[in-house]
Structure 1
Amino acid sequence: MKTRVGVLYGGKSPEHQVSLSTAMAVMNAIDPHKFDVIPIYITPEGQWIKGKRLTGPIEEVKQLQFTSTATAMIPVSLNQVPAPDSTTEGDKETIDVIFPLLHGPNGEDGTVQGLLEMLNLPYVGNGVLASAVGMDKVVMKNLFAQAGLRQAKYVSVTKYEWKKGGEAVYDQIEQELGYPCFVKPANAGSSVGISKCKQRDELKTAFAEAFKYDRKIIIEEAIVGREIEIGVIGNDEPVCSVVGEIVPKKEFYDYEAKYEDGQTELIIPAKVTQEQYETIKSMAIAAFKALDLSGLVRADFFLAEDGTVYINEINTMPGFTPYSMFPLLWQHSGVPYSELIERLIALALERHQEKQMITYTFEK
């Protein structure tokens, strides 16, 4: 019997379009002999729309953008889909596992994961706490610091503090971090709202841009060096891929460099020493455990000119098209795209089965 996979994508997020591209790639790569695929689209307005079970490949992204005239659904019915030859509304069968391919807020941040937990549905990827922490760069870096992981200096600022503090906020950044520095929304991915600043005027503009996407931002010192990434999969015994290097043609790896201009070079495997690889690997595993991650994560690092390794951040739902860094890292590690998807589904079912052993009642 085939495993029924509900692929959840779209969402109320600045990364809606990225999610659509990812969903199309994953759906087309899932082995139809082993899995039945049910697309579940969340519109930019937050409406959940269930598509029909796939019977062939998706040719273009717009096929996944169901309109409001399609069958709308409420999330609590997420574990039910019409049976193949259903003629009555009551003829239902359950989805076996959800594959969330939601990037950014309202999907990658623990909100949807919490819903799936309440529905007792297996799902691919990280749990509620890990997803929330992985989305909030400030909390993430605080936990990295507690775990003793080397990272760039940083300062966090809320919109209230910015409005109240005025020029003193910029003074603090210049005193503690200096220039150049990066300004980022605390809860956004795909480099949305990120700016590199070399003077105060740019810092002011960057604050205004970042606060469009969040009420809290993070400002980090710039580390001069190479951008190195590594993939991690697993639950209690995580394993790492080879490392890759990002070489953007622009000054830094922004949204356009990631998804639009096609000018960024990905070097896999990256040219690092065995000692540097072991350091990156060990820091990635330490971060995985410190944040209680599961399923998959891409860990991003800076390799400074003097050879020092700094952890930058982790991504709990990294870009997942066949041409994204995370799948390419695993491809070069001997795990093809379709096999990677199968492994992640197996890890999701394994973690769910483990949770079913927990006792939720107390008897004296």
Structure 2
Amino acid sequence: MNRILIFFGGCSTEYGVSLQSAHAVLTHLDRSRFEPLLVGITQSGGWLYYTGAPDAIPADRWQGTECVPCTLVLSRGVSHLLLLDGSGTQLSFDAAFPVLHGKNGEDGTLQGLLELAGIPVIGCGALSSALCMDKDRAHKLAALAGVKVPRSVVFRRSAGMDEIKAAAAKLGYPIFVKPVRAGSSFGITRVTGPEGLPGAAAAAFANDRELLLEEAIPGFEVGCAVLGTDELTVGAVDEIELSQGFFDFEEKYTLKTSAIHCPARIHPLKAAEIQAVAKAIYRALDCKDFARVDLFLTPEGEIVFNEVNTIPGFTAHSRYPNMMKAAGLDFTTLITRIIEAEVGV
């Protein structure tokens, strides 16, 4: 039996989403093949080895008496968790599975630490994770691979508002103002005129040191789940139907005014084309094990890159497992396939 170190929580605005995802992973983990070793990361960045009930995690009731401060043993070739309770206890494991979203978990920082220690990482590695978190650089690499991307301009905090307004006018309204590095649509604002730019810029800069002005792409968003490293499996293409606004953080996790159709209501040939583009982006950004590729489909049938989520959500509403389910992979089999990519069962 393989022991899998599962990280959850995180020093991130997406802490709560991670709790839901981790609980779903634990609920569907094949316990006859894998033994979970749980490390919760608090919102302040503390690492706690957790031995309590998984059901306490989604309600954020996990921090308590069943927690021990811990850290990784960074010596290469020794995949051990060191308990910081004075006992000197070291717990061995076979691979690490970060079920973390957003900064300090999905952006390559934790992946780099694990790679430094020679620990097998389930999911995308440090380079790929960092690239996919960076919307500007991900778009540039995808464009080099021949994928159509939105027109955009990047600004740092030192930029003046007049400069930002001039670039926005050149792109044409409406536009999206985004932090270059953030997840779950945090800090993103749809702007219809120059009067909305100061507030939108402030929201973006509150989440990152750079902001992205990006043209609004007509049409609707589609997604494709990708599984594997050398041989790739793709899930059914899904479609986001919006009644208003855009697919922001609240909509992603409540679906109050939107609906997700899986499979998407598009021609099978167009779905196959989307899957091919998703695989091309996945390879261009050096993804491995699993990721979700999000794109736009315009009224003219053009496929335009949006972003890659290297640790997509595993919540009740999550698109990645539902796309794979539509392609014939149930949740437990999916998690097993993801883990097997690194532990070689």
Provide the TM-score with structure 1 as the length reference.
0.88
Partner of 1:219: 213
Paired with 2:241 and 2:255, the residues of 1 have a C-alpha distance of: 13
Number of residue pairs the alignment of both structures matches: 340
- 2:243 equivalent to 1:249: yes
Displacement after TM superposition at 1:296 (Å): 0.7
Q: Judging changes above 3 Å, is the alpha-carbon distance between structure 1 residues 221 and 141 closer, same or farther for their aligned structure 2 residues?
A: same
Selected match of 2:154 from 136, 156, 159: 156
- 2:261 equivalent to 1:264: no
Secondary structure of 1:271's partner?
A: coil
- 2:134 equivalent to 1:136: yes
Paired with 2:118 and 2:61, the residues of 1 have a C-alpha distance of: 26
Contact 2:141-2:285 at 8 Å conserved across structures: yes
Q: Alpha-carbon deviations, 1:151-171, whole Å to 9, x = none?
A: 2111111112x2xx3312211
Secondary structure of 1:292's partner?
A: coil
Paired with 1:336 and 1:293, the residues of 2 have a C-alpha distance of: 22
Contact 1:182-1:197 at 8 Å conserved across structures: yes
Q: Alpha-carbon deviations, 1:74-97, whole Å to 9, x = none?
A: 2337943599xxxx9466441111
Paired with 2:115 and 2:179, the residues of 1 have a C-alpha distance of: 27
Structure 2, unaligned stretches of length 5 or more?
Answer: none
Partner of 2:281: 287
Selected match of 2:202 from 205, 208, 222: 208
Partner of 2:93: 95
Q: Judging changes above 3 Å, is the alpha-carbon distance between structure 1 residues 157 and 63 closer, same or farther for their aligned structure 2 residues?
A: closer
The letter of the residue matching 2:58 is: V
Selected match of 1:75 from 40, 63, 72: 72
Contact 1:235-1:293 at 8 Å conserved across structures: yes
Displacement after TM superposition at 1:279 (Å): 1.8
Provide the TM-score with structure 2 as the length reference.
0.92
Question: Higher Cα Rg: structure 1 or 2?
Answer: 1
Selected match of 1:117 from 115, 123, 133: 115
Paired with 1:57 and 1:51, the residues of 2 have a C-alpha distance of: 9
Displacement after TM superposition at 1:35 (Å): 1.5
Secondary structure of 2:236's partner?
A: strand
Paired with 1:79 and 1:67, the residues of 2 have a C-alpha distance of: 26
Displacement after TM superposition at 1:62 (Å): 3.7
Displacement after TM superposition at 1:28 (Å): 1.2
Query: Equivalent pairs: percent with the same residue?
Result: 35
Contact 1:39-1:64 at 8 Å conserved across structures: no
Structure 1, unaligned stretches of length 5 or more?
Answer: 354-364
Contact 1:6-1:40 at 8 Å conserved across structures: yes
Paired with 1:69 and 1:34, the residues of 2 have a C-alpha distance of: 24
Paired with 2:276 and 2:87, the residues of 1 have a C-alpha distance of: 52
The letter of the residue matching 1:249 is: S
Question: 5 Å matches for 1:352-363?
Answer: none
The letter of the residue matching 1:147 is: A
- 2:2 equivalent to 1:3: yes
Displacement after TM superposition at 1:267 (Å): 0.3
Q: Judging changes above 3 Å, is the alpha-carbon distance between structure 1 residues 273 and 261 closer, same or farther for their aligned structure 2 residues?
A: closer
Contact 1:276-1:309 at 8 Å conserved across structures: no
Contact 2:294-2:305 at 8 Å conserved across structures: yes
Secondary structure of 2:286's partner?
A: coil
Contact 1:16-1:103 at 8 Å conserved across structures: yes
Partner of 1:185: 179
